[in-house]
Amino acid sequence: MDFKHIFEKFSDFKRIHKEKSFSKIDVFFEDIKDIYLFEKTNELTKKGVTNNIAQNKARQSWRTFVGHSLQTLILVLLKELFENTDIKFIKDTELTKTNLSEEKELVRRMLEIHFNKYSFLPDADIIVYKYNPKTNYIKIYAIISVKNSFRERGFETTYWKLKLSDNKITKTIKVYMVTPDKDDEINTIDGARGPKKTRVILEYELDNIYLARDNFEKTEKVKSIDDLFKDIKKLIDSYD
């Protein structure tokens, strides 16, 4: 299943659910899960993988597929929202390639975290920025980390937020996280002991967390994913 097919399916989904489409994204992915598993299993069996192993591999790849698809859907819709403006969006993976354009090289340099002679890009699935080609001016407004699960690298985004905050050049960059929170690490309230450690740390350190799901405890910093698009626009307007 390629992204064109996913986007067409999501466009149909949006016509039904309108502004609540992203908050029901888990419903959308459940709707296409069987199609994905069927197509992925067929793809693997055609390569000579036995049916049982192909089914297991297809199921194992599902979470990764959901994460990449959610990231790309957000990116496409942000580009649509800011069409015909000077606001741009780029994936961090595009900045790791060789022979970067001058614009991409400037974005990379602006974001790099240095550790003596080594440097790395932060966890930034989507970077929101403005570029003026006449002056080579770069303004990075925010980075968005899309996490489908917290089972691995759960606090990586908070680490990069702290590193960006330590640098006077990058300290104004907002760090947002988007997640469907499938494992209830953010939403679940642990009885009388209060919220889980994951939620406490993420909410304290990050600028905002956007949940791609229904029915969760909202706060000033834990919001619906539908608010992401409004908040990005408000952030940009606050600088202009």
> Cα–Cα distances in Å, from 173 out to 59, 150, 238?
36, 23, 13
Average pLDDT, the chain: 88
Band (232; pLDDT cuts 50, 70, 90): very high
Q: Please identify, among 79, 95, 117, the residue that sits at the C-terminal boundary of a domain.
A: 79
Residues 97 and 53: their CA atoms lie apart, in Å, by 34
Whether residue 54 is found in the same domain as residue 152? no
pLDDT at residue 225 in the model: 87
**Helices 156-165, 197-205: inter-axial angle, 10-degree rounding:** 20
Are 112 and 213 contained in the same domain? yes
The most confident of 17-31, 142-156, 189-203, 209-223, by mean pLDDT: 209-223
Domain-terminating residue out of 79, 103, 118:
79
Tabulate helix, strand, coil % of the chain (nearest 5). 50, 20, 30
The one-letter amino acid at 43 = E
Q: Is the pLDDT of residue 134 over 80?
A: yes
Which residue has better confidence, 163 or 147? 163
Give the model's pLDDT for residue 173. Answer: 96
3-state secondary structure string, 34-98?
HHHHHHHHHHHHHCCCCHHHHHHHHHHHHHHHHHHHHHHHHHHHHHHHCCCCCEEEECHHHHHCC
Tokens of 196: 């889980």
Q: Which ranges in 177-225 belong to alpha helices (H)?
A: 197-205
Q: Mean pLDDT throughout 152-178? A: 89
Q: Residue 203: give the domain boundaries.
A: 84-239
pLDDT of residue 1: 72
Distance from C-alpha of 105 to C-alpha of 103, rounded to nearest angstrom? 5
Number of domains in the chain: 2
pLDDT-based confidence at residue 37 (cuts at 50, 70, 90): very high
Domain match, 62 and 148 both: no
- pLDDT (average), residues 36-59: 93
Same domain, 11 and 60: yes
Q: What is the pLDDT of residues 87-132, one digit of tens each?
A: 999 999 999 998 999 999 999 999 999 999 999 999 889 999 999 8
Q: Is the pLDDT of residue 192 over 60?
A: no
CA atoms within 13 A on the CB side of 194: 5
Let me know if 175 is exposed, middle or buried by CB neighbors in 10 A (0-12, 13-18, 19+): buried
Q: Quick one: 171 and 71 in the same domain?
A: no
Q: Write down the pLDDT at residue 221.
A: 94
91 and 12 fall within a common domain: no
Give the pLDDT mean for 161-170: 92
* Domain end (from 44, 79, 114): 79
